[in-house]
A and B are shown apart, each in its own frame.
Chain A
Amino acid sequence: MRKSKEVQLTLLAAMALSMTACREPHRDCVDSQNHLLPDTGCQAGWGGAHYLYGGSSGGHIGDAVMGGSTSVSRGGFGGIGGGDGGGGE
C-alpha cells in the first residue's frame, strides 16, 4: 500500500468550520511624544504621527500611550501577495 494508513485532522477541520478572519494587531496612532492621535493622523501622514504597537492608553485623544514598542514596524511582507494572488503555486 502506498496510501497513508490514516489521515486524521484536528486543526484543519476546525479551521474549515470557522474560517475566521485573522486577528488584527492592536496599534495606536500617536504623535512624536507618544500621545494618542486619531487614526486619520497616521493615514494622512501628519508630522511625527506614527503607529505604536502593543501599547495601552485611556483611549482619549491626547492620552499618553504607554508600553508600546516603537521599534516594531509591520507590513513589510505580504504586499505582492496581499490580494487573491497568495503566493502558492
Chain B
Amino acid sequence: MRRLTVTPRTDWQTRVERIGLTYHTLEDGTPYWDETVYWEFSSFEIDRLEAATAEIQRLALAAGDAILDQDRLSQMGIPAAAAPAIRAAWNAEPPALYGRLDLAYDGTTIKLLEYNADTPTGLVEAAVAQWYWLQDCFPDADQFNSLHEKLIAKWKDLKDYVTTPVYFANAGSDEDHMTASYLRDTAEQAGLRTRHIAMSEIGWDSGHSRFVDLDNHAIQTLFKLYPWEWMLSEPFGANALSTLPPASPLQQYGPRKDRRSWGSMLWIEPIWKMMWSNKALLAILWELNPGHELLLPAYLDGPRELSSYVRKPLLGREGAGIAVVKDGVAVEGSLTGESAQGYVYQALASMGTAAGKTAVFGSWLVDGEPAGMGIRESSGLITNNTSRFVPHLFR
C-alpha cells in the first residue's frame, strides 16, 4: 500500500456538499475531507483487510456469548439494570445494522484497535463521498466500498419486520445529522417510509407507556445515532428498558407477524451493542484468544508486562481520555484523571504511517458482513474528531 498525492478537484467543496458532506472543513479552516492525498492498495491487501474484518466479527460474536455466560457486564461498567435487556436482545437477535472496526495496518500486520458498534460515523464519507471521488478521478480503479448497496439490501430484508415509519434520531453535530439522514435515505430507497426526530424531541407517553413523536404518534421502530450508555443515564433510560424484553411483553412485527421477541419497540442498534462498543471487549477478546494474530494484548487491571501501550477509557469517544505510553512515559494524552468505568490497557500497535501522518483503517460491516473502508489520518497516534478523512482505491 502507498499514500499518494493528487491534485484535488477544483470545486471539491461544492461537489462533496452536494452529496451530503457538509462538514468537510474543520473549525480552523483546514479540510476534514482531504483529497490532496489518497491511499492505494493492491487487491491482495484489500482481500486481507476484508478477511480480517470477517474474522474479528467471528471473534466478537464468540466474545458476546462469553461475556453473558460469565456474567461480565458489571466488569465492563454496564449498569445492572440493563443486563436482562442485553441478555434477552442477544438471544432474540433483533436487527443490527452496521458497525466499524478500527484497524491498525502497517502493510504487514493487521490489528484490531477498537470496535465502534453502536454509533459509528464517517459513513457519508466512506459510502458516498469517496465513491464519487473515485468516479471523478479514477473511474477505472476499484474501491473497497459496497456500503451503499449493502445498506439498501439490509433495509429491504427488514421490510417485513419493521413498523413504519422508521424514525431516525440524532443529537448535536452536523456530522451526526447527516449520518442519520444518509441512513434514512438508504431506508427510503429500500421502500420504507421514514421520519426524522431529534433525540430531545422524543416524547414519553406515560398514559400508554410508549415513546411518541411530535404528533404524539407511537414510535415503534427507531434508529438512534445516540449511544445506549448515554440513553440509560438520561431521564428516559428506564422507559427505554421498559420497551424491551424481558420487561416488555412479546410483540409481533410486520405483515409476517414475526414471533421473535423484540419488545414493544424496535431499537436499532440493539441494546446488546453495549457489549461491543465498550472497550473492555478488547481485553476480553485477548483473554479468549491469546496470541491471535489480529488482536493486541489488552488488559483491564493494568498494563501488566506492557511498557508501551494505550490506555483507553472503557466508554471513551472520539479519542477523549486516551493516553499513549511509550517505554513507560506518556507521550500523548495524560495518565492523570479517572474514568468512572475504568480503562483498558492495550499494547501499542504498529501503524500505517506516511508523510508524518498516522492512518487508522475503519473497516465497515453491514449486517455482520465486511462492506467497505474509510481511512482517517492524524498527526499523532490518537484519532479524534479533527483527524482527516482521506479516500482510497485499489487496483
Chain A nearest CB from B2 CB (Å) reads: 19
- Does chain B have a CB within 8 A of A86? yes
Q: B142–A2 contact, CB under 8 A? A: yes
Q: A87–B142 contact, CB under 8 A? A: no
Do A77 and B131 contact each other (CB < 8 Å), given the known contacts A2-B145, A4-B145?
no
Q: A11–B184 contact, CB under 8 A? A: yes
Name the prevailing secondary structure of the B interface residues.
mixed
Q: B148–A7 contact, CB under 8 A? A: yes
A76 to B234, CA, bound (A): 6
Give the segment of A18-26, A29-37, A58-66 that binds chain B.
A18-26
Q: Select from chain B the residue with minimum beta-carbon distance to A69.
A: B216
Q: B231–A16 contact, CB under 8 A? A: no
Q: B145–A81 contact, CB under 8 A? A: no
Chain A nearest CB from B128 CB (Å) reads: 6
- Does chain A have a CB within 8 A of B157? no
Q: Select from chain A the residue with minimum beta-carbon distance to B172.
A: A86
Do A53 and B216 contact each other (CB < 8 Å), given the known contacts A19-B22, A89-B317?
yes
Q: A74–B201 contact, CB under 8 A? A: yes
Across the interface, which residues of B come within 8 angstroms of A11, CB to CB? Answer: 181, 184-185, 188, 194
Interface size grouping (class) on chain B:
35 or more
A16 to B175, CA, bound (A): 11
Q: B181–A88 contact, CB under 8 A? A: no
Do A4 and B170 contact each other (CB < 8 Å), given the known contacts A87-B176, A87-B227?
no
Across the interface, which residues of A come within 8 angstroms of B116, CB to CB? Answer: 89
Q: B235–A76 contact, CB under 8 A? A: yes
Across the interface, which residues of B come within 8 angstroms of A47, CB to CB? Answer: none
Among residues 41 to 75 in chain A, which have CB atoms less than 8 Å away from a CB atom of chain B? 53-54, 69, 71-75
Q: B234–A77 contact, CB under 8 A? A: yes
Across the interface, which residues of B come within 8 angstroms of A10, CB to CB? Answer: 185, 188-189
Q: A81–B226 contact, CB under 8 A? A: yes
Name the prevailing secondary structure of the A interface residues.
loop
Q: B172–A81 contact, CB under 8 A? A: yes
Q: A87–B184 contact, CB under 8 A? A: no
Q: A88–B128 contact, CB under 8 A? A: no
Across the interface, which residues of A come within 8 angstroms of B227, CB to CB? Answer: 81, 87
Q: Select from chain A the residue with minimum beta-carbon distance to B200.
A: A78
Across the interface, which residues of B come within 8 angstroms of A13, CB to CB? Answer: 18-20
Do A88 and B20 contact each other (CB < 8 Å), given the known contacts A12-B181, A12-B182, A77-B236?
no
Q: Select from chain A the residue with minimum beta-carbon distance to B168.
A: A11
A84 to B174, CA, bound (A): 8
Q: B216–A82 contact, CB under 8 A? A: no
Q: B128–A3 contact, CB under 8 A? A: no
Q: B204–A5 contact, CB under 8 A? A: no
Do A72 and B205 contact each other (CB < 8 Å), given the known contacts A13-B20, A23-B214?
yes
Across the interface, which residues of A come within 8 angstroms of B233, CB to CB? Answer: 80
Do A12 and B202 contact each other (CB < 8 Å), given the known contacts A4-B149, A87-B176?
no
Could you show 9 A-B contacts with beta carbons less than 8 Å apart? Answer: A8-B189, A16-B21, A19-B22, A22-B198, A53-B214, A73-B204, A77-B202, A82-B171, A87-B176
